[in-house]
Amino acid sequence: MKKIFVVFVSLASTFAISQKNTSKFSVTYNKNVETYFLAEILSAEHRKTNKDFELYKIKECSVYQPIVKSTLAKYNHLKNSEIAILTAKLNDALIEKFGSGNDFLMKPLMYHKEFPATGWINEYQFDNNNLTKEQNKEATDLIRNYLSELSKFYKQENLEQFFKENKDFYAGGINEYSKQIPAGFTNAMEQFYGESFNRYTILISPIMMWPIDNNEGRGIGADVLLKTGKKNIYEIASPFVKVEKQGQFGYDNQFQARFLSVHEFGHSFVNKEVYKHKDKLKKFKDLFENSKLKEAMIKTGGYGDYQTCVAEHLVRLGEIQTARLQKDFERAKRLEAYHLKENFIFLPKLEEKLKEYNADRKKYKTFGDFVPQLLEVFENTDIESINNMLAQNK
């Protein structure tokens, strides 16, 4: 493993503060998110895209996710309801027309005031830099109209009662996840990235379905720009432990909890910096699409876009550096091995390049200031080198 400068590592001593005592950080759940995933379960049979996978998720996850099982028992009679059909149509449209998945819905769900409240925290706009202005507006209108209907569904079916009935399970999940969180990790992230956000919130989602294999779940990042100009960021987490006995809630795995939390928060620091440099990645776009990397990234996590590939690499770079900053070298080493195995082949070169950033934080006050230098790692390569690195990873 490559060593980093001592001046960087020594900063970890300043982050001994307990994360639980940091008012900016919390673990909870959100009724908008849970209501959406309830509707997604009901919509499976109406899907045109990914229908087989959606049905498989229900069959698989209902075995070891109690909230999914109870949802099916209580609401399965609504599988032909208007919200079920609308949810299916929305997800099909996101894929077919806008090249997006349901992860794009987490942001508007957080922009909307929490059900049963109506209205919006701030003006929501769908934004994908691969789409035209007209396409982004069309997606915005589609999603805003859908959330209006989802809000009505919440009231019509008295879902407030559903959350009252399951309050003990949600409380258990929140407590279980909270125990896994490394002390002061958002403080360490702020130091590494050179910027901060207003609030950091982990939202457990016991109803989100993601087949669990080797304690791996799904995390989705989202952020909300407030009218004050400040920004709140979120991680929405599916269960990653099978609930097989009383007293389990699906989140009792430290490595996965820490990985997902730092990873998804990391996207709020990284994505905006990568996407603003789209024009600097023209060469890498060709390399990505003409080498074996695109196929490998799709198998890894459905990362079929070159900008996404870059962002995912840099987020993982941030995970490793955050762990090192906290002097959690075991976690850093495990993350490094884990991500290399998952085809993030540029990590060693990125870590080497990052030494320049760590050595001169007066010049590079924020991670964003240094991103153009990191992009050179992706640009200064060739198809043969990429394919060779992938082959060595097998």
In a domain, 138, yes or no: yes
Give CA–CA dist 67/38, Å, rounded: 10
Answer with the one of 166, 201, 222 that is the final residue of a domain.
166
Q: How many CB atoms lie within 10 A of CB 119?
A: 7
In a domain, 39, yes or no: yes
Helix, strand, coil percent content, the chain, rounded in steps of 5: 65, 5, 30
pLDDT mean over 80-85: 98
In a domain, 287, yes or no: yes
Count of alpha carbons within 13 angstroms of residue 311, beta-carbon side: 24
In a domain, 218, yes or no: no
pTM: 0.89
Residue-wise pLDDT tens digits, 189-224: 999 999 999 999 999 999 999 999 989 999 999 999
Q: Is the pLDDT of residue 13 over 50?
A: no
Average pLDDT, the chain: 92
- Number of domain units in the chain: 2
Give CA–CA dist 58/35, Å, rounded: 16
Q: Which range marks the domain in which residue 70 is found?
A: 27-166
In this prediction, residue 182 carries a pLDDT of 83
The band of 20, judged by pLDDT with boundaries at 50, 70 and 90, is: very low
In a domain, 68, yes or no: yes
Answer with the one of 166, 187, 210 that is the final residue of a domain.
166
In a domain, 189, yes or no: no
Could you give the residue ranges of the DSSP H alpha helices within 179-247? 185-193
In a domain, 155, yes or no: yes
Answer with the one of 149, 166, 183 that is the final residue of a domain.
166
Residue 50 neighbours by CB under 8 Å, 6+ apart: 91, 95
Give CA–CA dist 277/283, Å, rounded: 12
Q: Assess whether the previous peptide bond of 239 is cis (omega < 30° from 0).
A: no
In a domain, 222, yes or no: no
Give CA–CA dist 188/244, Å, rounded: 35
Give CA–CA dist 68/58, Å, rounded: 8
pLDDT mean over 349-368: 97
pLDDT mean over 308-332: 96
